[in-house]
Structure 1
Amino acid sequence: MSIQTETLRALYGTWRIARGDANGLGFFEFSINGFWRSFFAAVIVFPAFAFLRWHDLGEAPQDFPVGRYMTVEVIAYVIKWVAFPLVMLHILPMLGRAERYINFITVYNWSSVLQMAVYLVALTFGVLFPSLGAGGFVMVAVIAMLVYGVYIARLTLSVPLPTASAIVMADFLLSMVITSIGIRLAIGQLF
């Protein structure tokens, strides 16, 4: 199967899962090759990520280190894509779910494309309807995507709701820590 076909099938699968259809799992390639190809989602999401980081610079002070900021953000982006799968490689055996690692990470990676799309729509609504508060749209999108992540964890790992929630919150917190360190490095104020 070509990467284009696999990508389209996986994205359709993520859409089906987001609609609560567990049969969406049938559209993913659950193999070691499918696992590695699921990281192609990072390539798909990257332009939106870069645009959002660049957009954030619109309110930066004149002397802000733009080049260093963007470099650190790109490095942090790569680290985020690697860190969570590495953490889960060690956590899932402790949960007795090591055999489900490839399935979980494959679906979780591909789901990031849909998550970014929802986030961009929320930001667009915030711009179109500023009187309603841009932050409100984004907050609803973030909550929806956390719920979606919990559903993916429950579906692919067959774990209880509290365990699935803890896994998704661990990813969220890990991402926040990496982002925070990245921003502090970019502005030269790590310590």
Structure 2
Amino acid sequence: MPGLSTPAVTLETQIAAGLRAAFLLAQGREEGLRFALLSMEGAARSFWAGAACLIPFLIIRGMGDDALLSGGLAVELIGYMLGWVVFPLASTALVDASGRGPLWPLFIAAWNWTNLAQYAALLAAALLGRLLPGGVGGLLTLLAFAYALWMEWFVAKSALRISGIRAGMFVLMDMAIGLTIASTVARLG
């Protein structure tokens, strides 16, 4: 599907392709990259995944504590938006250092779309965790988090054509950014 990233392709077609990419990549199927669109336009349009993930994010955050109910919604939303922007920007340096600069748009498009599957797994774990005993619910959350980390590692390794160790560096960088944003949101919220 290399023609999907041409200007003549509609946003709806690219969103449908991104959903297909997320579905396949979530199964560990590298062929999902064919739908992730290797172009700056494809990378830019993949940020629509952030809009789709907002509702699951708010549900998960609302279930976790009262931060969304105590006036911290604006801070939570700013943190959410930063999470979608800071990692892609920071990753450019690591992609360039890996000698994979031309693959950055594909990586970011795949990373963005795969977030849909990650949020689905985390939301399912959170919802099931409320119905099951504490230990089982905690285990489900841990497994969903591990799955999300694996998925990010798989996308970095596959999209950038790098070793597993290098892909792990992207996951660690994203985790560090996410933890920094989360701790700042917690202090401000």
Q: Structures share a fold, TM > 0.5?
A: yes
Give distance in 2, aligned partners of 1:165 and 1:16.
21
Report the 3-state secondary structure (helix = DSSP H, G, I; strand = E; otherwise coil) of the residue aligned with 1:30.
Answer: coil
TM-score normalised by L of structure 2: 0.89
Establish whether residue 10 from structure 1 lines up as the match of residue 14 from structure 2: no
Give distance in 1, aligned partners of 2:69 and 2:53.
24
Give distance in 2, aligned partners of 1:140 and 1:155.
22
Give distance in 1, aligned partners of 2:48 and 2:28.
24
Partner of residue 30, structure 2: 22
Alpha-carbon shift at residue 18 of structure 1 (Å): 2.1
1:7-156 equivalence runs, <5 A: 7-58=15-66, 66-67=70-71, 69-130=72-133, 132-156=135-159
Give the count of matched residue pairs: 181
Aligned-pair identity in percent equals 28
What's the RMSD between the two structures over aligned residues? 1.8
Deviations 1:108-131 (A, max 9, x none): 011101100011111122122225
TM-score normalised by L of structure 1: 0.88
Unaligned runs of 5+ in 1: 187-191
Contact 1:57-1:66 at 8 Å conserved across structures: no
Give distance in 2, aligned partners of 1:120 and 1:65.
19
1:171 partner amino acid: D
Runs of 4+ in 1 over 2 A off after TM superposition: 1-5, 51-58
Report the 3-state secondary structure (helix = DSSP H, G, I; strand = E; otherwise coil) of the residue aligned with 2:28.
Answer: coil
Give the direction of change, closer, same or farther, for the CA distance of 1:92–1:131 in structure 2 (3 Å limit): closer
Report the 3-state secondary structure (helix = DSSP H, G, I; strand = E; otherwise coil) of the residue aligned with 1:133.
Answer: helix
Unaligned runs of 5+ in 2: 1-8
Give distance in 2, aligned partners of 1:53 and 1:148.
21
